Amino acid sequence: MVEQDIRFYHLHRQSVAQALPALLSKAWTVGNRIVVKCRDDAESEALTKELWTFSKTIFLPHGNKKDGYDAEQPIWLTAQEENPNQANMLLVTSPPEGELPQDFSLGCIMFNGADEVELQAARACWRRMKDSGKANLS
């Protein structure tokens, strides 16, 4: 039985910071609550700042541990394994070494296709998830 939809985003021409606003905008517009799992606290803070400045006309309600109000944030950026806003969607900014937590119905894995190490990690992640049979991969 497939429990999660997992999507891989192979970034060729954009960085995570450049691609993230469009993905989040689409996901939030259709009613998803989202956790963005970053590599570390520095990336979480940088992406939080990026979401404040990426557009003069689009606002994406978001926060991280510095902002607080975790349960109320539609989009939560973190470096921790957590789901304080009861999100249904998890977006990770690099391929995870293990499975994605099962409390998310949709998982999105972004990776830099120009980075050979990250590309190989994404391929290994894909194989691991495919072999587990727990995910619908696209």
Would you say the pTM of this structure is higher than 0.85?
yes
User: Model confidence over 98-119: pLDDT tens digits?
Assistant: 888 888 999 999 999 999 999 9
Cβ neighbourhood burial of 64 (10 Å; 0-12, 13-18, 19+): buried
Residue type at 17?
Answer: A
- Residue bearing tokens 């304080």: 84
